Amino acid sequence: MAESSVEKVHCLIIGSGPAGYTAAIYAARANMKPVLYQGIQPGGQLTITTEVENYPGYPDGIQGPEMMVHFEKQAARMGADIRFGLATKVDFSKQPYRVEIDEEKWIEADAVIISTGASAKWLGLESEQRLNGFGVSACAVCDGFFFRGKEVAIVGAGDTAAEEALYLSKLCSTVHMFIRRDQMRASKVMQDRVQNTSNIKIYWNTDTEEILGEHKTEAVRIKNNKTGEEQTIAISGFFVAIGHQPNSDIFKGWIDMDEAGYIKTVPGSSKTNIEGIFAAGDVQDKIYRQAVTAAGSGCMAALDTERYLSAKGLV
């Protein structure tokens, strides 16, 4: 690889959800001349949601994709260099750090902010993707409000599924909870809470066969995987809570992660185990996973990066 094909930048941001764009806004204002690569899903998970009502500053709510256009425009207006492209490989063995884009071009960066997000795990049904945003959701906290007083279903058996079922039970008339096995994976205390909530109806040994509805979610067809019995339940919302997958694969072997692949950061900061490499947003947050917390951590990452580059005399 010819050295001339390597581009050098001060601050490289990988990923373009609320964390990446907020980091870009702060980094650009601090004259760090950030370069941001948007990744495979420019705008992140919010581009596959519909109405966002819980982000401050939008009193009438806003469509997720439109909100991410606002984020991008603001970052660009501040001077961030926003590019389409996917980080495909990294070499963090020495400074400046190297990141490969689209398997063809290398970038050298004095500091890197990783904001590659996480992707919801799905069941793999055609109807699930077709009705995503039309009654199908992977975030009860984001979308539960739209189903106030209605019947909904949730699939999942871990702590997140239990928490989301309990959250929905406060808003919805009935929560039908589908569990594939004859027991839950959730902690005992969460299981007890779910089972003691009168409007959560648990279906054991249950697989989701199909979500029904032409233009919006109207019902779900389930099957007992022990007896083979099928039934159809009328619902307005269907929530998938079988986990998230952090988009961190290319950093494995370099950056410290937990067993699920979430990047570990020093508590109260965005610092990783490698000096000059920072992480923000859902790639390092498996607890809150909200647009506003991702944006907040993007701000933290940019401020941490500024202090780092300043101490090195690079900005």
Q: Give the pLDDT of residue 53.
A: 85
| CATH code of the domain covering residue 290 | 3.50.50.60
Mean pLDDT of 62-90: 96
Which residues are known catalytic residues? 139, 142-143
Rounded to whole angstroms, the Cα distance separating 144 from 136 reads: 11
- What is the DSSP-derived secondary structure letter of residue 139? -
Q: Find all residues with CB under 8 Å of 307, minimum gap 6, and list them.
A: none
Which contiguous run of DSSP H or E holds residue 315? none
C-beta atoms surrounding 258 within 10 Å: 12
Chain segment 135-190, per-residue pLDDT in tens: 999 989 889 999 999 999 999 999 889 999 999 999 999 999 999 999 999 999 99
Residue 198 structure tokens: 């009168």
- Tell me: pLDDT of 1 over 50: no
Chain segment 17-64, per-residue pLDDT in tens: 999 999 999 999 999 999 999 998 888 888 777 788 889 999 999 998
Closest CA to 270 of 248, 237, 303, 309: 303
Mean pLDDT of the chain, nearest integer: 94
Residue 75 structure tokens: 């970052």
Upper half-sphere CA count for residue 177 (Cβ side, 13 Å): 32
6-14 and 35-37 strand pairing: parallel
Please tell me whether residues 9 and 115 are part of one structural domain.
Answer: yes
Q: Give the pLDDT of residue 51.
A: 81
Upper half-sphere CA count for residue 207 (Cβ side, 13 Å): 12
Mean pLDDT of 300-310: 98
Q: Between these two residues, 229 and 160, which has the higher pLDDT value?
A: 229
- What is the DSSP-derived secondary structure letter of residue 264? P
Amino acid identity of residue 149, one-letter, is G
Residues of the chain with pLDDT > 70, as a percent, come to 98
Q: Give the pLDDT of residue 3.
A: 46
Which contiguous run of DSSP H or E holds residue 276? none
Please tell me whether residues 102 and 158 are part of one structural domain.
Answer: no
For the residues of 194-213, what is the DSSP string, one character each?
HHT-TTEEEESSEEEEEEE-
Give the length of the chain: 315
Q: Edge-to-edge strand order for the sheet containing 200-203?
A: 136-137, 237-240, 151-155, 174-178, 200-203
Q: Give the pLDDT of residue 41.
A: 83
| Number of structural domains found in the chain | 2
- Tell me: pLDDT of 2 over 80: no
Please tell me whether residues 32 and 108 are part of one structural domain.
Answer: yes
Please tell me whether residues 187 and 209 are part of one structural domain.
Answer: yes
Please tell me whether residues 92 and 202 are part of one structural domain.
Answer: no
Please tell me whether residues 109 and 199 are part of one structural domain.
Answer: no
Q: Give the pLDDT of residue 289.
A: 87
- Tell me: pLDDT of 4 over 60: no
Give the structural domain span for 27.
Answer: 3-119+244-311
Please tell me whether residues 108 and 152 are part of one structural domain.
Answer: no
Please tell me whether residues 153 and 92 are part of one structural domain.
Answer: no
